[in-house]
Each structure stands twice: as structure tokens, then as C-alpha cells.
């Protein structure tokens, strides 16, 4: 990645369980994908992925052909790995492709495919995502509420309302 530039602002607000990332990118690659990787210590058999009317679970293992085929999963606003005393979620305002295997979650941020047209994603991009940590499976409802607040604030701030958490 030698033709693109990135400016990332990382914010951790006092008292918050969320680390926010705001990225400005000038993407000029050919035949590449920018994935943002989070390695974690959560021991789990699956991740939960937000979809249109709820969530689905996807395996983090590759023990059979069915699990191997789940190398990339879609998630609308969050993807979550949890065990009874520890949970992490990646919150996203606009990215939907994730890789989740073993102790790694990656978010597909930008790509440079040649179909349906060349350089479709080339140019300037601004997007936000966050890493949210909590006390595990029992805090899932709070995680969803936190994510909803995150997306509402991000979407509204792009309309000029500039809410701060």
C-alpha cells in the first residue's frame, strides 16, 4: 500500500468502554483490500453478527467445510465475540464485511476491485468505527444500546449536529 494515505484519530473518553477510530483515507490502490484487524483474548466458538432484523451466529473455527465457508461474514452495525466474563464488539457506521476466526476479527474497510468498474472506491473516504469492551455475554443488551447510540451520533454528526459522548 504505497499509493494511499491514512489519517487515523483514536479517541478514548474518560469513563467510556469504547475506543473510537476516525479514519480519513485517500485510497489509490489496485487489486488490494484494506482490512483493519483486532486480535482479542475472548475464548468462544462463535461470533454474533448484527443483521437486518436481529443477529446471527457464525463459527470462529474451521473444523469442516461449512465453517471454512464462513471466512467472511456480513454484519450491519456490529460484530461481537463474548464469553461469560469478557466481551468485545466492533461497532461500525458503514462497513459490513468482517472476517472472524479464532481470536481475530477483521473489518474490510476499503477495496480496489476491477468489477463492476475500475477504481470504484478510489479517492477520499471518511469513516468511523469503534472497539467496545464489556463484562461478557450478560452485558449484550447494554452493548446493543451503546452501539445504537454510537451510530445515531455518527450519522447525526455528518448532518452537522456534532453530538459528543
DSSP letters for 45-96:
SEEEEEETTEEEEEES--SSHHHHTTSSEE-SSEEEEEETTEEEEEEESS--
Q: Tell whether 119 is covered by a domain.
A: no
Q: Tell whether 2 is covered by a domain.
A: no
How wide is the angle at C-alpha 126 spanned by C-alphas 32 and 142, nearest 5°?
105
Q: Tell whether 76 is covered by a domain.
A: yes
Q: Tell whether 18 is covered by a domain.
A: no
Each residue's pLDDT tens digit, 19-54? 999 999 999 998 889 999 999 999 999 999 988 888
Q: Tell whether 67 is covered by a domain.
A: yes
Number of structural domains the chain divides into: 1
CA torsion 38-18-8-110 (nearest 10°) is: 50
Task: Give the count of alpha carbons within 13 A of 84, CB side only.
Answer: 0
Q: Tell whether 32 is covered by a domain.
A: no
Range of the domain at 96: 37-110+124-159
CATH number for position 141: 2.70.98.30
Each residue's pLDDT tens digit, 136-161? 865 555 556 565 666 665 544 444 33
Q: Please check the confidence at residue 121 and state whether its pLDDT lies above 90.
A: no
Q: Tell whether 63 is covered by a domain.
A: yes
Amino acid at each position: 500500500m504505497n499509493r494511499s494515505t491514512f489519517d487515523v484519530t483514536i479517541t478514548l473518553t474518560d469513563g467510556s468502554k469504547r475506543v473510537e477510530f476516525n479514519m480519513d483515507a485517500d485510497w489509490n490502490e489496485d487489486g488490494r483490500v484494506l482490512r483493519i484487524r483486532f486480535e482479542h483474548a475472548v475464548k468462544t466458538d462463535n461470533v454474533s453478527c448484527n443483521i437486518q432484523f436481529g443477529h446471527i451466529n457464525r463459527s470462529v473455527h474451521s473444523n469442516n467445510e461449512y465453517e471454512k465457508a464462513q471466512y467472511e461474514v456480513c454484519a450491519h452495525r456490529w460484530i461481537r465475540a463474548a464469553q461469560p466474563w469478557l466481551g468485545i464488539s466492533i461497532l461500525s457506521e458503514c462497513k459490513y464485511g468482517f472476517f472472524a476466526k479464532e481470536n481475530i476479527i477483521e473489518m474490510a474497510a476499503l477495496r480496489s476491485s476491477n468489477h463492476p468498474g475500475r477504481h470504484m472506491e478510489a479517492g477520499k473516504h471518511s469513516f468511523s468505527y469503534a472497539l467496545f469492551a464489556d463484562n461478557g455475554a450478560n452485558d449484550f443488551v447494554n452493548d446493543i444500546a451503546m452501539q445504537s447510540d454510537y451510530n445515531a451520533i455518527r450519522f447525526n454528526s455528518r448532518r452537522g449536529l456534532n453530538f459528543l459522548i
